[in-house]
Structure 1
């Protein structure tokens, strides 16, 4: 088994017209080429190449896909926001099982926030909003640490974006198991006292609303460099964790959630599980 990751932060490389700039296209192409080379070296039988929010929302997405394919031979498939939410929900369902009952899942990526809820493997509601930690940091914060006024204005913006989907969720009920997936939620949980990743995936980790509010008050006054010194946060996440925390707090508040269970599986596992299901005839 091999695990390889590289951070691209493409959403921070969108120009004024919403297009991925030359630097972003170069980084994406190099990452895909490296992944394809690793597939060959490891003797993998299949590659599942997909792109999410940053490419999905880019005004030059087709040109980006064409360039990557021309240079690497790999054609990325863009997942819609709803597909991303569905697949992440599937991963959470498979991790917790049927006995969990209704699952309400939140996932904060670099470019978007996915929200889903349901009793089955397919959520009753699955939505995607452009409220990713990297996107909001890039669009809203121009000082380090961010200005208090900007933080308060961003809070109001997030609340407004969440109002309608939150009402839809509440209309069918969000009681049951509340789950947070993605590196942002794992980092927030770690910063509020959850066990480190070295403790393994089966240790229960939670994120509480009071703990999150206290954390925001603390980290929002720190520079990115100082936040990077905190145990549990990587240097490539420290600059965007304030925006991520604001989205987490606002989404939990909008849905009336006081605690989230942190699920070690997320979109990647959902994509793999769906592919395995298709291979066995399960849809």
Structure 2
């Protein structure tokens, strides 16, 4: 079975195409066939002007047309497409999404921050985690950060905050919002024996790659602080050169690190695991469940 997910975030749009097989125990196994990322950067318009500009609208349409061609080439029958923070805030979102549907046949659902956080659970990330440890899953995007708390394989709390990398670059995150996040985290971790963080998003994946750690090894809070301090001391061009990063990664990685450092600090977590999964993976798992239920 071939499944695909499209995640239209505030910084980039991703198309994930996945093959699903049943293993010997009749359990689904998800194998990534292709992942395409286009830096549309919708948030740069929306968080400043409240709408998506004609130029970025055109880029979005062209990207969706390209994705449609890939979906046809891979003979994908089942697709789930969602948009997050920037599209939630854009005053012209409805018109643009109708145009995408008309020109490509792709229907995009704008999901709430809570649904975005809940979709992380669809990846079955909670299965196999250690008992009696409170895990805080941190998904940092361009427009928002989703926090999901797991204990003994169950979600105990989830919340979305309008603190994202692009909003921070645009200096559009009030101190009161940081305080709200801080108080929420401190309330949730109160009484926990041990807290461990799990991170997702392109920025933390890039930091993990830079660290040269082996798969499955955690990154320390101290290391994240070191990267934040080191990268902040460089200009954008210097960062791109020193770390071999594209511009659309080099500018948002610093605010992303700030978010991760703050969340770990407030949660009392000294380490963060990077399983290299994200919203698109959650969408694939949710889509698989929907397809199976319809059979």
> Shorter chain as normaliser: what TM range?
0.7 to 0.9
1:51 and 2:83 are equivalent in the alignment: yes
Name the one with the larger helix percent. Answer: 1
Q: Is the 8 A contact 1:159 1:254 kept in 2?
A: no
Alpha-carbon separation, structure 2, partners of 1:57 and 1:174:
38
| Alignment map for 1:79-228 (pairs within 5 Å) | 79-91=111-123, 94-95=124-125, 97-101=127-131, 102-119=134-151, 123-139=155-171, 156=175, 159-171=178-190, 173=192, 175-191=194-210, 193-195=211-213, 203-228=215-240
Alpha-carbon separation, structure 2, partners of 1:121 and 1:70:
41
Question: Residues 48-68 of structure 1: CA distance to partner in whole angstroms, max 9, x if unpaired?
Answer: 111111111223222222232
Alpha-carbon separation, structure 2, partners of 1:34 and 1:60:
22
Alpha-carbon separation, structure 2, partners of 1:81 and 1:169:
18
- Moved beyond 4 Å, runs of 4+: 154-158
Alpha-carbon separation, structure 2, partners of 1:59 and 1:111:
15
The Cα shift of 1:176 comes to 4.8
Provide the TM-score with structure 1 as the length reference.
Answer: 0.82
Structure 2 match to 1:143: none
Alpha-carbon separation, structure 2, partners of 1:226 and 1:30:
31
Q: Is the 8 A contact 1:87 1:271 kept in 2?
A: yes
Q: Is the 8 A contact 2:113 2:160 kept in 1?
A: yes
Gaps of 5+ in 2: 1-32
Name the one with the larger strand percent. Answer: 2
1:9 and 2:41 are equivalent in the alignment: yes
1:66 and 2:84 are equivalent in the alignment: no
Q: Is the 8 A contact 1:190 1:232 kept in 2?
A: no
Q: Is the 8 A contact 2:43 2:142 kept in 1?
A: yes
Gaps of 5+ in 1: 141-153
Structure 2 match to 1:76: 108
**Match of 1:115, SS?**
strand
The Cα shift of 1:257 comes to 1.3
Q: Is the 8 A contact 1:32 1:72 kept in 2?
A: yes
Q: Is the 8 A contact 1:106 1:180 kept in 2?
A: yes
Cα 1:120–1:19 change in 2 (3 A) is farther
Cα 1:139–1:18 change in 2 (3 A) is farther
Question: Residues 76-123 of structure 1: CA distance to partner in whole angstroms, max 9, x if unpaired?
Answer: 1012111111112332xx346234334320011121111001236652
Q: Indicate the larger mover: 69-78 or 47-56.
A: 69-78
| Alignment map for 1:232-243 (pairs within 5 Å) | 233-243=245-255
Alpha-carbon separation, structure 2, partners of 1:3 and 1:219:
27
Considering only aligned residues, what root-mean-square deviation do their CA atoms show, in Å?
Answer: 2.5
Cα 1:155–1:255 change in 2 (3 A) is farther
